[in-house]
Chain A
Amino acid sequence: MSLTGNDVLAGKGDFYTRHFQPTPREDTLILNMGPQHPSTHGVLRVMLEIDGEYILRAEPVIGYVHRMQEKMGERLDYNQYLPNTARVDYLHPLAWNWAYVGAAEKLLGLEIPERAEYIRVITCELNRISSHLLWWGTYLLDLGAFTPILYAFADREKLADILQRITGSRLTFSLYQIGGCKADMDDRFIRETKEFIEYMRSRFPMYKDLVTDNLILRKRVEGIGRITREECRKYGASGPTVRAAGLDYDVRRTEPYSLYDRFEFNCPVYEDGDALARYMVRMQEMEQSLEIIEQALKQLPDGEIMAPKVPKKPKPPSGEVYHAVESGRGKVGVRLISDGSAVPYRVKLRSPSYSNLSLFPCIAAGTLLADAISILGSLDLVIPEIDR
């Protein structure tokens, strides 16, 4: 049953509806792109005020997937918390793993062996490709094309096979450990990764022909949802969203961590700030990830994968540290505050989708409903990451 304005003013409807509903205009429709919706990726509720097809106001409501990840961080060991970080963003879990493990290693003052660093770079970039592939497939599904998602998943299956052998999982990989990596890459992994690079390069032209050059898609995506650099700075957005708006900020370039200063790769930056720019940035990032993996495989040294003398139950000295990495969505940060015991005092997870979602209300105002879907899809949000 749909609530009428009088019902809401009389006190029915939930908290958010009551605060959103009162509007000076009589002829607009208040719509709930509710928690159950096929194209809010995850459980996101967006309240919309619509005039015909034009959106006047939009307000997202989050918290439907709150899993108390940060609270669990205060209860679990440093080693026990690691699978949690993989589940915060299930599409790019290795980035979250890396952020957490890097923060703990900073606190403990550990030096990671080179081979472990290379393994981290290679697997994280493979995971980035997998994350962008899924984004691509689901974005097109939102726009109404039912086939590309299955082509993307076929490629992701190959990635899952490769990473399954060393991590043991196909989705929420948890390969890193405080002090290094859990498992080493063998020849088979290297061989399969090289084959995958060739295979993926041969798939990109097909994606371009089928989707990127498609007239209907271009009309849906060009000029939609322009973001300016000031808006990006205001909301603290990061990732491909801001690189498409002209802001050249990539954590791998601006605050290099690990070995990223050894590789030559481009961070694509576009000036338009519309959905097409965000689309192209992500497609090109996939190609650049392949470049990074190729260079890393060439430079791969032999050696240990774990630092020597890593305590089994780490008890870092008191202090606080912040470590940020670049995930498929933007800047992932973990702030660890330790009080000297085996359990952290505070784990703060900074998720990029939260800041990126804040961009949505100001760019969705004045667009069509179909465009709002397109914008939401192009921002590449993962709702569990927002709610943590």
Chain B
Amino acid sequence: MSEITLNIIRIWAGLFIILSFISVNAIILVYLERKIAGHIQRRPGPFEVGPHGILQPFADAVKLLGKQIITPRYADALLYWAAPILSFAPVAVCFLPIPAGPHARVLDINVGVILILAFSGLNVLALCLAGWGSQNKWSLLGAARNIAQSVGYEIPLLLSVMPILMLSGSLDLNTITQNQGGWPWEWYAFKQPVAFIIFFVCALAETNRAPFDLPEAESELTAGFHTEYSGMGFGLFFMGEYTYMIVVCSMTALLFMGGWQGPFAPGWWWFVPKVYVLLLIMMWIRWTFPRVRFDQLLNVSWKWLIPISLVNLLATALVISLCC
């Protein structure tokens, strides 16, 4: 009894910390994204609100919170409002099995990888509801694109995680991290470079980040599936997207880059910079490349990523069975 209660209290406390972590991170990321975009484009980015625009995300948050909550007249209210909630809530759960340090984990579960991949699939459902419930043809197109994109890129994602699972022999994120070393050449990224690249590309596609951001393509679909959302509905989608980015980058760091391990003194101080470096690279890619067309997107996934990751998986299996 008491152990279950202890676990429940631990999970609740952990969720609380996670939510605050997510919020702080969302604020930092929003600011970073706009500043990086500005500097790449040789302009200052946010500058006025607070010194060098530091308070800009707070202004954005206040604006989003303060907007009038509008439901379009012919929209299905249940679906319309379920969508942002469904988009944000599961992502918070994804943080439970992620170890930020050797003992800094909320949920000691030995199927962490499956938990994260399962909950991230709910994002598709959320966008589907958003697109259909908005009663807007543009949203519908955006949602349809998103479903095909997410389904198409989940498979290479899984296929590129599987060699790592085979190498470390466990689904537990802590075990996978421990099996890597502190130095870069001991990371799985060097043993499985193909899987690393494919995983990162699929991560970009799953989070709807450029160059795969067709569901929310601003110049084609007038904001895609979140056309009809304003105020906190949009805010939840926004936060969900940024949080999902953090989840996916944490996964990359844990699976491929040694997680909280470093050359010396392992801890969360190695983990957080790795996540942020990956996030910066994601943003860098976003502001450089144009958008991939929809059928080319699916082509890349079905004709290139899946065969390559399958071959990689088979080769890894072969090598492992031959060597040990």
Direct contact of A and B (CB under 8 A): yes
Q: A369 to chain B: which residues have CB within 8 Å?
A: 141, 220
Provided the pairs A144-B213, A146-B37, A146-B287 are in contact, do residues A216 and B219 lie with their beta carbons within 8 angstroms?
Answer: no
Please measure, in the bound complex, the distance between the C-alpha atom of A373 and the C-alpha atom of B210, giving whole angstroms. 17
Q: A220 to chain B: which residues have CB within 8 Å?
A: 290-293, 296
Q: B293 to chain A: which residues have CB within 8 Å?
A: 219-220, 368, 370-371
Please measure, in the bound complex, the distance between the C-alpha atom of A143 and the C-alpha atom of B217, giving whole angstroms. 9
Q: B40 to chain A: which residues have CB within 8 Å?
A: 147
Question: Which of A31-39, A79-87, A127-135 is near enough to bind chain B?
Answer: A31-39
Evaluate contact between B291 and A143: CB separation under 8 angstroms. Answer: yes
Does A141 belong to the interface (CB within 8 Å)? yes
Provided the pairs A144-B210, A368-B294 are in contact, do residues A38 and B74 lie with their beta carbons within 8 angstroms?
Answer: no
Does B73 belong to the interface (CB within 8 Å)? yes
Least Cβ distance of A49 to chain B in Å? Answer: 12
Does B230 belong to the interface (CB within 8 Å)? no
Evaluate contact between B135 and A38: CB separation under 8 angstroms. Answer: no
Evaluate contact between A2 and B136: CB separation under 8 angstroms. Answer: yes
Name the one of A36, A50, A145, A368 contacting B295, with C-beta atoms under 8 angstroms.
Answer: A368
Evaluate contact between A39 and B219: CB separation under 8 angstroms. Answer: yes
Q: B37 to chain A: which residues have CB within 8 Å?
A: 146
- CB-CB contacts below 8 Å: B29-74 with A: 37, 40-43, 72-74
Name the one of A141, A143, A147, A214 contacting B287, with C-beta atoms under 8 angstroms.
Answer: A147
- CB-CB contacts below 8 Å: B283-311 with A: 286-296
Does B186 belong to the interface (CB within 8 Å)? no
Q: B295 to chain A: which residues have CB within 8 Å?
A: 53, 368
Please measure, in the bound complex, the distance between the C-alpha atom of A21 and the C-alpha atom of B288, giving whole angstroms. 40
Evaluate contact between B289 and A38: CB separation under 8 angstroms. Answer: no
Name the one of B218, B287, B296 contacting A38, with C-beta atoms under 8 angstroms.
Answer: B218
Provided the pairs A38-B222, A368-B293, A369-B220 are in contact, do residues A31 and B137 lie with their beta carbons within 8 angstroms?
Answer: yes
Least Cβ distance of A28 to chain B in Å? Answer: 11
Evaluate contact between A142 and B219: CB separation under 8 angstroms. Answer: yes
Q: Across the interface, name the chain A residue whose C-beta is closest to B37.
A: A146
Provided the pairs A145-B288, A146-B287, A147-B40 are in contact, do residues A53 and B137 lie with their beta carbons within 8 angstroms?
Answer: no
Evaluate contact between A144 and B219: CB separation under 8 angstroms. Answer: yes
Provided the pairs A147-B287, A214-B290 are in contact, do residues A154 and B220 lie with their beta carbons within 8 angstroms?
Answer: no
Provided the pairs A1-B135, A37-B222, A150-B42 are in contact, do residues A370 and B294 lie with their beta carbons within 8 angstroms?
Answer: yes
Least Cβ distance of B33 to chain A in Å? Answer: 11
Q: A39 to chain B: which residues have CB within 8 Å?
A: 219-220
Interface residues on A, range: 20 to 34
Please measure, in the bound complex, the distance between the C-alpha atom of A145 and the C-alpha atom of B42, giving whole angstroms. 15
Query: Number of residues in B with C-beta < 8 Å to the partner?
Result: 35
Provided the pairs A29-B137, A144-B211, A147-B288 are in contact, do residues A1 and B72 lie with their beta carbons within 8 angstroms?
Answer: yes
Binary contact track A1-39/B, C-beta < 8 Å → 1, others 0:
110000000000000000000000000010100001111
Evaluate contact between A53 and B291: CB separation under 8 angstroms. Answer: no
Evaluate contact between B219 and A1: CB separation under 8 angstroms. Answer: no
Does A363 belong to the interface (CB within 8 Å)? no
Does A293 belong to the interface (CB within 8 Å)? no
Provided the pairs A2-B137, A37-B222, A154-B42 are in contact, do residues A144 and B72 lie with their beta carbons within 8 angstroms?
Answer: no
Q: A150 to chain B: which residues have CB within 8 Å?
A: 41-43
Please measure, in the bound complex, the distance between the C-alpha atom of A135 and the C-alpha atom of B211, giving whole angstroms. 21
Q: A154 to chain B: which residues have CB within 8 Å?
A: 42
Q: Across the interface, name the chain B residue whose C-beta is closest to A377.
A: B219
Evaluate contact between A147 and B41: CB separation under 8 angstroms. Answer: yes
Binary contact track A199-237/B, C-beta < 8 Å → 1, others 0:
000000000001000101101100000000000000000
Does A269 belong to the interface (CB within 8 Å)? no
Please measure, in the bound complex, the distance between the C-alpha atom of A142 and the C-alpha atom of B222, giving whole angstroms. 11
Please measure, in the bound complex, the distance between the C-alpha atom of A373 and the C-alpha atom of B221, giving whole angstroms. 10
Binary contact track B138-150/A, C-beta < 8 Å → 1, others 0:
1011000100000
Least Cβ distance of B270 to chain A in Å? Answer: 32
Least Cβ distance of B309 to chain A in Å? Answer: 20
Does A275 belong to the interface (CB within 8 Å)? no
Does A283 belong to the interface (CB within 8 Å)? no
Name the one of A29, A50, A214, A373 contacting B219, with C-beta atoms under 8 angstroms.
Answer: A373
Q: A142 to chain B: which residues have CB within 8 Å?
A: 219-220
Q: B145 to chain A: which residues have CB within 8 Å?
A: 53
Least Cβ distance of A78 to chain B in Å? Answer: 41
Evaluate contact between B135 and A2: CB separation under 8 angstroms. Answer: yes
Least Cβ distance of A369 to chain B in Å? Answer: 7
Please measure, in the bound complex, the distance between the C-alpha atom of A2 and the C-alpha atom of B227, giving whole angstroms. 14
Evaluate contact between B72 and A216: CB separation under 8 angstroms. Answer: no
Q: Across the interface, name the chain A residue whose C-beta is closest to B296.
A: A219
CB<8 Å pairs between A and B, sample of 15: A1-B135, A37-B222, A39-B219, A39-B220, A53-B145, A143-B219, A146-B286, A147-B40, A147-B287, A216-B291, A216-B292, A369-B141, A370-B217, A370-B220, A370-B294
Residues of B within 8 A of A (CB): 37, 40-43, 72-74, 135-138, 140-141, 145, 210-211, 213-214, 217-220, 222, 286-296
List the 4 closest pairs (A to B, CB-CB), nearest first.
Answer: A144-B291, A145-B290, A150-B41, A143-B290
